[in-house]
Amino acid sequence: MTRALVATRVRLVKAFEERAEKGQGTLEYVGMIALAALLVMAIVGAFGNGKTLATKVAGAISDITGIGG
């Protein structure tokens, strides 16, 4: 009888643990997306408006591709 009660208890604990972890991956993805959005906002804020950022990126690409010639 005791063995059956222990087995039932173990099954219940496992069921509750699995239920508690359900959705954890989704929460982690939401956190990564929020962090990426904050990073993009910080970069845009550092360079001003989008035109300035685009000009700086285009200039950096031009510098890199124009090094050899």
When pLDDT is cut at 50, 70 and 90, the band that residue 44 belongs to is confident
In a domain, 36, yes or no: yes
In a domain, 13, yes or no: no
Residues 45-57: tens digit of each pLDDT: 777 766 777 788 7
In a domain, 38, yes or no: yes
How many domains does the structure of the chain reveal?
Answer: 1
**Is-contact 44 53, C-beta < 8 A?**
yes
The boundaries of the domain holding residue 38 are 23-69
In a domain, 58, yes or no: yes
> Which tokens sit at 66?
């124009």
**Is-contact 39 29, C-beta < 8 A?**
no
Q: What is the pTM of this model?
A: 0.43
Return the number of other C-beta atoms located less than 10 Å from residue 39's C-beta. Answer: 10
Chain-centre distance for alpha carbon 48: 25
